[in-house]
Amino acid sequence: MFEVIGERINTSRKLVQAAVAERDAEYIINDVKKQQEAGANFIDVNAGARIGHETEDMKWLLDTIQPIATVPLTLDSPDPAVLEMAFAMVEKTPMINSISLEKDRFDAMMPFLKGKECKVIALCMDDNGMPGSADDILARATTLVEELNKIGIPTNAIYIDPLVQPISTDSNKGTMVLDAVRAIKAKYPEVHITGGLSNISYGLPQRHVINRTFVALMMDAGMDSAIIDPLDAKIMATIKTADMLIGNDQFCGNYLKGVRSGAIES
Amino acid sequence: MLDFNAIIEGLVACDTEKVTQLVNAAIAENVPAADILNKGLIAGMDIVGEKMENGDMFIPEVLMAAQAMGSCVETLKPLLGEGEGRESASVLIGTVKGDLHDIGKNLVRMMMESAGMAVHNLGVDIAPEDFVAEIKSKNAQIVCLSALLTTTMPMMKKTVDAIVESGLRDQVKIMVGGAPVTQAFCDEIGADGFAPDAGSAAKMAKSFV
């Protein structure tokens, strides 16, 4: 099953930041409920944008969201101390967003993750920057899986983010990441592939069309999760439809359910 | 008298072949190389930048136009006289420490070079003290700081602070940019200008010199 990580509770979004600053619980609760109703499988919570307030903002957000959360949360911070606090506050096994191969981040996150029961997003980023080829992405994913396995995180709890890059700057950036995803899934059939999609369309007009088309291609390559806005009805409809087309929807049940509920329209 | 408009139109249409042809024809007609550069190519890229800013041209088209310009500049270089075609400003550009993203920064660099400025690209993950050292060694007038992450934005402030402490603040204009960066943040950290895209960044840099 494709897993949608709802990205909306992020203080870098203006309205969320205002709600957090004013401790407007109703706004946050409504937003989370809407994401859940739209089919989010995880709710990402990022409190990083109000510099100097991350700990208190994260705590308030989790206090606010936890009672109404019907799905697990994705705890989104680079700071192990914030994550440690957040981890203790959640009821369902959370997802951690994220570890990468950047030395500082890696060294900070490994002791935090060791021995914990959680899912983890692992970015194919290292100190050389963004990956430059499909082989490069595969090599980084391999290191991440091997290192995380060593500290007790099973492969099926790892969500590799291959880092989608803008097609506007290089026409081969689409195939680069598609090839990488295929190679990663061939090597580790149990690993999950996730990530943001909107980078692909950076610098081009009508971005949603590109994002939607791309998610379908990525799903065929093996992507089985994405960090998106679940209230974007069109991309959600594309995901449901693509999931059926690649053989993940027995008797087209979810597709038909989507049509009957009005979520999928021509 | 050559019609520079044709060169300008060729760049805006991303027609590399046409621009190359026109530039070669102009050289054959003994049009001064500096005029071809300034009134044709740079003027054309100014319009490309403006169109980018207005959402009428997009990154792949801007890349094509810049590539066309770049190859023509190579042809013109040996023909430029002493002091002609000299860059109009010395610009430093880099992504701040802790941040490894470079796509946006490289677009800004390209647009500034196309606008006739000498751009020294320091790369990514650049510490405040390295910006300071490079301002001295490159005698920079403009410093451009890039950050794509909310977690690395505070490093922009540290870099501005380091420039202030070094005593070089009055020598340079500081520009900031990157997805999470806003005008309000620019004002808050005491930078001189924020540009939301590469086209407006080049225009702003020109206005500073």
Spatial separation of the C-alpha atoms in residues B115 and B46, rounded to whole Å: 7
**A183-238 pLDDT, tens per residue?**
999 999 999 999 999 999 999 999 999 999 999 999 999 999 999 999 999 999 99
Spatial separation of the C-alpha atoms in residues B119 and B206, rounded to whole Å: 12
Cβ atoms of residues B130 and B169 within 8 Å: no
Which two structure tokens, joined as six digits, stand for A152?
């007790």
What distance separates the 2 farthest-apart alpha carbons in chain A?
Answer: 51
Spatial separation of the C-alpha atoms in residues A31 and A11, rounded to whole Å: 13
Backbone angles phi, psi at B140, to 5 degrees: -75, 145
CB-CB neighbors (< 8 A) of B102 in chain A: 129-130
Predicted confidence at residue B182, as pLDDT, reads: 94
Spatial separation of the C-alpha atoms in residues A198 and A110, rounded to whole Å: 28
Q: Is B100 within 8 Å of A127 when comparing Cβ atoms?
A: yes
Percent of chain A at pLDDT > 90 equals: 97
Q: Is A204 within 8 Å of B124 when comparing Cβ atoms?
A: no
pLDDT confidence bin for A91, thresholds 50/70/90: very high
pLDDT digits (tens), chain B, 209 positions: 567 999 999 999 999 999 999 999 999 999 999 999 999 999 999 999 999 999 999 999 999 999 999 999 999 988 987 777 677 899 999 999 999 999 899 999 999 999 999 999 999 999 999 999 999 999 999 999 999 988 899 999 999 999 999 999 999 999 999 988 999 999 999 999 999 999 999 999 999 98
ipTM: 0.84
Q: Report the pLDDT averaged over residues A146-157.
A: 98
Q: Is B140 on the interface with A (CB under 8 A)?
A: no
SS (H, E, C) chain A: CCEEEEEEEECCCHHHHHHHHCCCHHHHHHHHHHHHHCCCCEEEEECCCCCCCHHHHHHHHHHHHHHHCCCCEEEECCCHHHHHHHHHHCCCCCEEEEEEECHHHHHHHHHHHCCCCCEEEEEEEECCECCCCHHHHHHHHHHHHHHHHHCCCCHHHEEEECCCCCCCCCCCHHHHHHHHHHHHHHHCCCCEECCCCHHHHCCCCCHHHHHHHHHHHHHHHCCCEEEECCCCHHHHHHHHHHHHHCCCCHHHHHHHHHHHHCCCCC
Q: In the predicted model, is pLDDT for residue A142 greater than 70?
A: yes
* CA B177 vs CA A151, A228, B170: distances in Å: 38, 24, 20
Predicted confidence at residue B2, as pLDDT, reads: 64
Average pLDDT of the residues of chain A: 97
Predicted confidence at residue B209, as pLDDT, reads: 87
pTM beyond 0.80: yes
Predicted confidence at residue B87, as pLDDT, reads: 78
Q: Return the amino acid letter for A161.
A: D
CB-CB neighbors (< 8 A) of A127 in chain B: 100, 125
Predicted confidence at residue B1, as pLDDT, reads: 52
For B157, nearest residue in chain A (alpha carbons): A51
Predicted confidence at residue A1, as pLDDT, reads: 87
Q: Is B100 within 8 Å of A49 when comparing Cβ atoms?
A: no
Predicted confidence at residue B151, as pLDDT, reads: 87
For A169, nearest residue in chain B (alpha carbons): B60
Interface-testing mutation among A12, A136, A169, with chain B (most B C-beta atoms within 10 A): A169
Q: In the predicted model, is pLDDT for residue A175 greater than 80?
A: yes
Q: Report the pLDDT averaged over residues A43-51.
A: 93
In 3D, which of A53, A58, A100 has the Cα closest to residue A75? Answer: A58
Spatial separation of the C-alpha atoms in residues B99 and B97, rounded to whole Å: 6
Strand ranges (E), B100-203: 118-126, 142-146, 173-177, 193-194
Q: Report the pLDDT averaged over residues A3-30.
A: 97
Picking from B98, B100, B107, the nearest residue to A130 by CB comes out as B100
Residues linked to residue A237 through DSSP beta bridges, in sequence order: none
pLDDT confidence bin for A115, thresholds 50/70/90: very high
Q: Which residue has the tokens 């400003």?
A: B89
Q: How far is B195 from chain A (nearest CA, A)?
A: 15
CB-CB neighbors (< 8 A) of A105 in chain B: none
Cβ atoms of residues B101 and B146 within 8 Å: yes
CB-CB neighbors (< 8 A) of A125 in chain B: 100
